[in-house]
Amino acid sequence: MKNFSVFILLFVSLTNAFSGNVDTVFVQSRSMNKSLPNLVITPDYYSNHKDGFPVLYLLHGAGNDYAEWLRHVPDLKDYSDKYNFIIVCPDAGRTSWYFDSPIDHAMKYETYIYSELVSWIDANYRTIPNRSKRAIVGLSMGGHGAFYLAFRHQNVWGAAGSIAGAVDIRPFPNNWDIANRLGSYAQHPDNWEKNTVINLLYLLNGSNMTLLFDCGTSDFFYDANRRLHQMMLERNIPHTYIERPGGHEPNYWKVAIKYQLFFINEFFSVN
């Protein structure tokens, strides 16, 4: 993983609406020449102990920002306390799709998260800087992002989770600004084929990544998730897949994140 000189511009605690263990940090991205906000949640145990802590990176969906998860799940801090790991919620723009865009060189959110942000978090928090103590989970666009980043940067993350993830973007050529990141499918099909999660399974050797993904049976991403599950079975890629009633909506996500956090804690506990 490349090391970038990343510095903090501003470090502020959130207002009294949240605990003092929830902070917003602004991190400078050299690759994009701008600073970006990130939510960092540390467990109560963090302030009085010198240990290193595992870190979960939690990615937001399209049209949202770094605070989305705390809005949907305000008790995230309680989960951080319960499982004793740090949670980092990056901001990746409303529709970045976590790519380094091949057509817009101002959009390099892959580089920002896997290299610049991870390096900054490890330098400024007491982490355990090892893939066995680092995981990434995301929702919708962030579900795509979590698997996309984890598959492509297995030296950074040892576990990944997707909730209602857009694990195959090709059926949606006119949605959510994806064409603004990759070019139109008609004109740039290779960009779409090379950057959709379902086509990145060749990067996995069957044992180098701990994976959990789930999707509601009424979700518009359900078909893609089932296809990804079947392809993993065919290729003997270990994973945990859950489907249950529900659509692409907050009530489903609030339940799903509980399974994901338990799953990530189990990964941290045995590694």
What angle, 0 to 180 degrees and rounded to 10, lies between the N-to-C axes of helices 250-270 and 76-83?
A: 20
The predicted model scores a pTM of 0.92
Q: Which residues pair with 29 in a beta bridge?
A: 34
* Residues found in the chain: 271
Q: pLDDT digit of tens for each residue in the chain (271 aa)?
A: 443 333 333 333 333 333 449 999 999 999 999 999 999 999 998 988 888 999 999 999 999 999 999 999 999 999 999 999 999 999 999 999 999 999 999 999 999 999 999 999 999 999 999 999 999 999 999 999 999 999 999 999 999 999 999 999 999 999 999 999 999 999 999 999 999 999 999 999 877 899 999 999 999 999 999 999 999 999 999 999 999 999 999 999 999 999 999 999 999 999 8
Strands (E), the chain: 8-13, 22-29, 34-41, 55-59, 86-90, 134-139, 159-163, 210-216, 240-244
Spell out the CATH class of 8-270: alpha beta
The three-class DSSP label of residue 71 is helix
Residue 164's alpha-carbon distances to 8, 17, 45, 110, 153, in angstroms, are 32, 28, 32, 20, 21
**Residues in Cβ contact with 19 at an 8 Å cutoff, skipping those fewer than 6 apart:** 77
